[in-house]
Amino acid sequence: MGNYYKKKIISAAAPVLSGLQLHRLFAPFYAGIGQILMLHRVVAEEGQVRIHNHQSLEISPEQFESTLNFYRNKGYRFVSMDQVYEILKSGKTSRPFVAITFDDGYRDNYTTAYPILKKHRIPFTIYITNCIPDRSIILWWYLLEDLVRAQSSISFQWKKNHYSFSCHSPIEKEQAFEKIRTLINQELTKDHERDLLKAIFGHFTDDLYYYSKTIGMNWEEINTLCRDPLATIGAHTVNHRSLRQLEADELAYEIMVSREQIEKQIGRTVEHFAYPFGKASEASLREFQLIKSLGFKTAVTTRMGNIFPAHHRHLECLPRININKASRTEVLQLQSSGMLPCLYHLGKKIVTD
Ligand SMILES: [Zn+2]
């Protein structure tokens, strides 16, 4: 079963499961000692039909604040990624913790999420992919959402192959988004990035860089954030590529240069990392070993999971809980009790691969 359908079923079943209070039975065994929350964007709702997979990157400011309140009311302690590292190293924590993390470096993290976090004095980490503040990335996943939303069919030519996707119904749009996303991740290399994206989006837009200019943070904003001790800046590679597709030298470049350039820009050391995309097909053992050898304190994936003391042996691949529009109170309850991760991974507790 695809992740899309798995998540749809979980989301639909959450109120029933939550009502049955079954999560209380799971909590003693599956809640673990804490959670690392994964967010991307905090933005007001548009009122338009969205691509589910893409919408999973967003939450409204109101829901973001109520999510923070959920954890506060449950007695969780808000911690930085440095504190997650300390807790796992020492094996000591007096009460469950929650760490707030954002991927990529979207401007709304600064304009919308930061004021809320500051008001509540909550530490947070933003994993920057350098090409966003450098304005050298084509945020193709936003273009892709616009494309499938606007068109009823999509066709393009790539490497002598003709690709064609029907996009009439919402489900066809979801499927086209997922198939083209997979194709781009498989085919994208530094050398022919522009050619590939031009082949797909060229007829649709004449500014492939529109989104990086409008929704990405710049270095000045990142530096302002850095002055607040609540903020931690982590690395998220130079070009946000799917790491498993890369040759060893490209992989090392993506990670090492990312860290080096951020350190130069912000004038402090970068000790935490997030894998781009982060599914098993996009980051695995080779990537984990490299991150470990480079001396990062922690690295996070996009695999769903709570944190257990045994994760002290897996600091280079810590799972997270994705927080988005679907993360209503009942879903948060099932996640924090460990029930959802347990069902999702068929009973497996220590999610690493
Ligand atoms: Zn990312």
> Which positions ≥6 away from 270 have C-beta within 8 Å?
233, 234, 235, 259, 262, 263
What are the distances in angstroms from CA 217 to CA 122, 129, 141, 143, 332?
20, 10, 17, 18, 29
Three-state DSSP class for residue 129: coil
> Which positions ≥6 away from 185 have C-beta within 8 Å?
242, 245, 277, 282
Ligand 1 center from residue 303 Cα (angstroms): 13
Which residues, by Cβ under 5 Å, contact ligand 1, an ion? Answer: 103-104, 276
Ligand 1 center from residue 170 Cα (angstroms): 25
Ligand 1 center from residue 22 Cα (angstroms): 33
Confidence (pLDDT) at 111: 96
Confidence (pLDDT) at 325: 86
Q: Please give the biggest Cα pair distance in the chain.
A: 60
CB 138 within 8 A of CB 212: yes
Ligand 1 center from residue 25 Cα (angstroms): 34
pTM: 0.85
Ligand 1 center from residue 103 Cα (angstroms): 5
> Which positions ≥6 away from 46 have C-beta within 8 Å?
none
Ligand 1 center from residue 113 Cα (angstroms): 17
State the amino acid at position 38 in one-letter form: M
| 279 CB-contact burial (10 Å; exposed 0-12 / middle 13-18 / buried 19+) | middle
Ligand 1 center from residue 26 Cα (angstroms): 31
Ligand 1 center from residue 96 Cα (angstroms): 26
Ligand 1 center from residue 243 Cα (angstroms): 12
State the amino acid at position 114 in one-letter form: Y
Confidence (pLDDT) at 319: 94
* pLDDT tens series, the chain, 353 aa: 455 566 666 666 666 666 667 677 667 677 789 999 999 999 988 767 778 777 778 999 999 999 999 999 999 999 999 999 999 999 888 899 999 999 999 999 999 999 999 999 999 999 999 999 999 989 898 999 999 999 999 999 999 999 999 999 999 999 999 999 999 988 887 778 889 999 999 989 989 999 988 999 999 999 999 999 999 999 999 998 889 889 999 999 999 999 999 999 999 999 999 999 867 777 789 999 999 999 999 999 998 899 999 999 999 999 999 998 888 888 898 888 887 777 777 777 766 66
Ligand 1 center from residue 28 Cα (angstroms): 32
Ligand 1 center from residue 12 Cα (angstroms): 26
CA dist 106 and 40 (Å) reads: 7
> Which positions ≥6 away from 15 have C-beta within 8 Å?
330
